[in-house]
């Protein structure tokens, strides 16, 4: 029995100071590792990056009817976009959007805005049914029904994509041609909030 005890290394008790040092190093390392993983996660594609190129999204007139009936843009999560109706009979809207966005008739056009990525820091920008605006929950940027900037830290309105009406009446969005959102001074719609904000 005595021989067995001589062959085994004797365990040294862990000192309190050593235990606390290793605990602190482990905790700080875990925190920094989590922060690094979160930062890297922002670089990976999110849901909504599934469509590419020219995509037909449905009959233009049916889309207009649905959007107007719901009083809400039509969200296409696969493309990270929201389809909204704009009015080409407004001279300011026609000047701002007539060249790059679909015109269906004299008073109806369709536009696809990038509601997946706020121009400020890239947060998703959901639609607020109460105010009838897009409102960013991260930092409070707000955009009217045309995606034009109305407040908050964002440097411009929502980015958008070139769109057109195909010969068969389909609304087509070209996701390979993203357009920089309108400047803060753009206000073709002049739409005040129509109710309470969804973002505090």
Residue 48 pLDDT greater than 50, yes or no: no
Q: Please state, for a pLDDT cut of 90, what percent of the chain lies above it.
A: 32
pLDDT at 49: 52
pTM for this model (two decimals): 0.69
**Per residue in 5-41, pLDDT tens?**
566 777 777 788 888 888 899 999 999 988 888 877 7
Q: In this structure, which topology does domain 54-179 adopt according to CATH?
A: Rieske Iron-sulfur Protein (2.102.10)
What CA–CA distance (Å, rounded) separates 61 from 40? 42
Domain boundaries, the chain: 2-41, 54-179
The answer to whether 148 touches 160, Cβ cutoff 8 Å, is no
Residue 51 pLDDT greater than 70, yes or no: no
Of 112, 88, 83, the closest CA to residue 99 belongs to 88
As a whole number, mean pLDDT of residues 51-57 equals: 78
Rounded to the nearest integer, the mean pLDDT of the chain is 85
Q: Please state, for a pLDDT cut of 70, what percent of the chain lies above it.
A: 92
pLDDT at 200: 73
**Per residue in 108-152, pLDDT tens?**
999 999 999 899 888 889 999 999 999 998 888 999 999 899 989
As a whole number, mean pLDDT of residues 78-88 equals: 89
What letter would DSSP give residue 194?
Answer: S
């Amino acid at each position: 029995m005595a021989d067995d005890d001589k062959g085994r290394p004797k365990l040294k008790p862990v000192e309190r100071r050593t235990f606390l040092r290793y605990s602190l190093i482990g905790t700080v390392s875990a925190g920094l590792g989590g922060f690094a993983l979160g930062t890297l996660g922002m670089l990976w594609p999110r849901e909504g990056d599934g469509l590419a190129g020219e995509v037909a999204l449905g009959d233009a007139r049916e889309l207009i009817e649905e959007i107007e009936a719901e009083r809400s843009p039509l969200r296409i999560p696969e493309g990270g976009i929201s389809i909204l109706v704009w009015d080409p009979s407004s001279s300011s809207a026609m000047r701002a959007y007539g060249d790059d966005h679909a015109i269906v008739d004299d008073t109806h056009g369709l536009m696809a805005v990038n509601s997946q990525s706020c121009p400020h820091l890239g947060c998703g920008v959901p639609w607020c049914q109460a105010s009838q605006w897009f409102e960013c929950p991260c930092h409070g940027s707000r955009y009217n029904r045309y995606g034009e900037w109305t407040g908050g830290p964002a440097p411009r309105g929502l980015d958008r994509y070139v769109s057109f009406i195909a010969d068969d009446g389909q609304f087509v969005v070209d996701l390979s041609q993203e357009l920089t959102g309108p400047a803060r001074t753009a206000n073709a719609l002049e739409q005040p909030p129509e109710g309470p904000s969804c973002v505090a």
